[in-house]
Amino acid sequence: MSATSVTEHATAFDPAAVRGDFSLLGVEVGGEPLVYLDSAATSQRPRAVLDAERSFLETVNSAVHRGAHTLAAEATELFEGARATVAGFVGAAPEQLVWTSGATAGLNLVAYSLGNAAQGRTVPGHEDAVRRWVPGPGDDVVVTEAEHHANLVPWLELAARTGATVRAIPVRDDGTLDLEAAAGLLSERTRVLALSHVSNVLGVVNPVEQLVAMAREATGGRALVVLDACQSAPHLALDLPALGVDVAVFSGHKVLGPNGVGALYGRAEVLEALPPFLLGGSMITTVTLEGADYLPPPQRFEAGTQPVSQAVALAAAVDYQRAVADRFGAGAVLEHERALERRLRHGLRELPGVRLLGDADGADDGSVQRVALQAFEVEGVHAHDVGQLLDARGVAVRVGHHCAQPLHRRFGTTASVRASAALYTTEDDVDVFLDALSGVRAYFGVA
């Protein structure tokens, strides 16, 4: 199953060279050509990804790790091959990658695994290791004010179950984290530091390596560092082991892959020490009526029927992105997205009555790294009304609080509009969006 076809075009990267691989980008919405600026929510899938999943289902479909027949063996080989491919995408070894249904499931896995350890359900031989990370009364779980609810609510629940306190690193007016405040929050009582690599509202790239170093020093190496890489995986070249985090999660549907599959990366010693969260078939060695023994990672965390065709399709998405990078140069693709980010943010700044969240002084000295993702509000017009008017022009954006209510409160609003790009986004897409947005306030009579 080949998943690396890229539409032939010039050698210099131009999104037009790949747009033909994304059938949905050619549709019309209400008679208008689609301008898709909601990739931070769900990216579009190239034909190679759709073909990979369809081919698996039509020719190989079978349960993995469970049968001796030919189809089962072939399905297992493809499933584990996909694990190796996706692990390599983030610089990891195959045994360091756990399949999940998405990033939310991965974050809940870690939080509830720690909760199980707090109740004494530990892995024999690894009791001391896991207890370093289990919070209790007087201990802290440190997050940031910018977290997606998926990287906040599970920690609130863990704190409620264990008596710990959740503390948040504040966000500055320019959208960056307050590192001075972070230094004051991290201490020997910190058991978990959970943060996003890139804010799904602000597009700001957080200094993960610096924060990891701060956490290691402040806690004597005791804190478990958990990274939400959902918005960095589509835009940055990731090497999770090099970042120094203990665990990290990302979702397939944000990196040109399918829904219903994601991955959790973990350092080997961390995965070995964490007790299981979901229990059932496929993750055990021996079961009696008195108890059970569990497989080593990653299978320990993969109970039940796995998303096999989705995993194969996610590997195809990784192969597709590598093919694009090999053809045009990874640097050229990154520079294209940087140019989109600048065009998007600068264009929004120039529109009267538009306020960008996390862009207080409009600085553009390169000190703040961002991806092509920006939330904003339009003076006098509710975000949902803005979204509907843009939709009438064929422009798809996100509206609401983007599962980040605390961050929106920080910037004094309950909802915003978010535009986000991907490698298939063109400069014309951004210009059509800005032109449509420029008429919103006049349409609603508030200009």
User: Which residues carry out catalysis?
Assistant: 403
C-alpha to C-alpha distance for 430 and 351, rounded to whole angstroms: 13
Q: Which residues pair with 97 in a beta bridge?
A: 265
For 226, the 3-state DSSP assignment is strand
C-alpha to C-alpha distance for 204 and 362, rounded to whole angstroms: 13
Residues 50 and 22: beta-carbon distance below 8 Å: no
C-alpha to C-alpha distance for 346 and 362, rounded to whole angstroms: 9
C-alpha to C-alpha distance for 4 and 376, rounded to whole angstroms: 36
Strands (E), 131-261: 140-144, 165-169, 190-196, 224-228, 247-251
C-alpha to C-alpha distance for 187 and 215, rounded to whole angstroms: 8
Neighbours of 153 (CB within 10 A): 16
Whose CA is closest to 129, among 330, 290, 285, 271? 271
Residues 304 and 282: beta-carbon distance below 8 Å: yes
Q: Write the single-letter amino acid at 269.
A: E
Instruction: Please name the residue ranges forming H helices in 166-207.
Output: 179-185
Instruction: Please name the residue ranges forming H helices in 263-396.
Output: 268-273, 308-328, 330-349, 383-392
Whose CA is closest to 118, among 192, 22, 31, 26? 192
C-alpha to C-alpha distance for 2 and 8, rounded to whole angstroms: 16
C-alpha to C-alpha distance for 126 and 132, rounded to whole angstroms: 11
CA separation, residue 58 to residues 51, 166, 241 (Å): 10, 48, 36
C-alpha to C-alpha distance for 28 and 281, rounded to whole angstroms: 45
Give the CB-side neighbour count of residue 250, counting CA atoms within 13 A: 29
Whose CA is closest to 350, among 376, 371, 369, 372? 376
C-alpha to C-alpha distance for 159 and 71, rounded to whole angstroms: 45
Q: Write the single-letter amino acid at 196.
A: S
